[in-house]
């Protein structure tokens, strides 16, 4: 299991994986990212599953996460910048709602984010659809949609057009159906 936190991932060390003790500054970054993310009850629930504990005490979760990171049981790492890929040009805000977070709750001062949401003709989420997305700064990412048919990318440094490619879909099999402005 991995816990995705904006531009970072927290995960258990893999069997046989040799981890280096993280620098104190990196542990501090992890704590700050986790502390902000724990405002979301789903993140708190995911962290309890990752830590294999049963507690609702957020401070205790932070202490356990710090211990896990410093001991090498947990790995906190940056998500690498992806390489650019070509595709259909769409406005970033047009791609979809941010993974369940109401748009009016977002501060315009927060990091820029973009999300994709894929649904079928009956508005049911399309889970596991392969995508590639190129961001306005030239970086890109690829993956599969989650169980809600979504993928979210935080920390865009430049506004503008994104390019979305659905490599397994026939170009005529899908269409853009809506957009929302932040």
Report the C-alpha gap between 145 and 55 in whole angstroms: 29
Domain residue spans of the chain? 2-78, 88-173
Residues comprising the chain, all counted: 182
pLDDT in tens, 82-103: 444 444 433 344 343 333 434 3
Which class is 88-173 in CATH? mainly beta
| pLDDT of 59 strictly over 70 | yes
26-55 confidence digits (pLDDT tens): 999 999 988 888 888 888 888 898 899 988
What pTM was computed for the model?
0.46
133 strand-pairing partners: 141, 164
Of 113, 16, 91, which Cα lies nearest the Cα of 105? 113
The residue that leads in pLDDT, 47 or 148, is 47
Q: Which residues contact 130 (CB under 8 A, 6 or more apart)?
A: 142, 143, 144, 166, 167, 168
């Amino acid at each position: 299991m991995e816990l995705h936190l904006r531009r970072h991932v927290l995960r258990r060390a893999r069997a046989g994986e040799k981890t280096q003790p993280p620098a104190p500054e990196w542990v501090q970054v992890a704590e700050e990212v986790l502390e902000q993310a724990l405002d979301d009850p789903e993140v708190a629930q995911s962290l309890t599953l990752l830590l294999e504990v049963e507690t609702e005490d957020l401070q205790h979760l932070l202490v356990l996460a710090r211990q896990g990171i410093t001991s090498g049981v947990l790995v906190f790492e940056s998500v690498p910048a992806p390489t650019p890929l070509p595709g259909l040009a769409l406005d970033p805000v047009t791609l979809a709602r941010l993974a369940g977070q109401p748009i009016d709750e977002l501060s315009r001062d927060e990091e820029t984010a973009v999300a994709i949401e894929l649904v079928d003709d009956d508005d049911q989420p399309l889970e596991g659809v392969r995508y590639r997305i190129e961001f306005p700064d030239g970086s890109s990412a690829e993956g599969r949609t989650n169980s809600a048919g979504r993928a979210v990318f935080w920390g865009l440094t430049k506004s503008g057009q994104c390019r979305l490619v659905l490599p397994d879909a026939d170009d005529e099999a899908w269409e853009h159906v809506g957009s929302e402005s932040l």
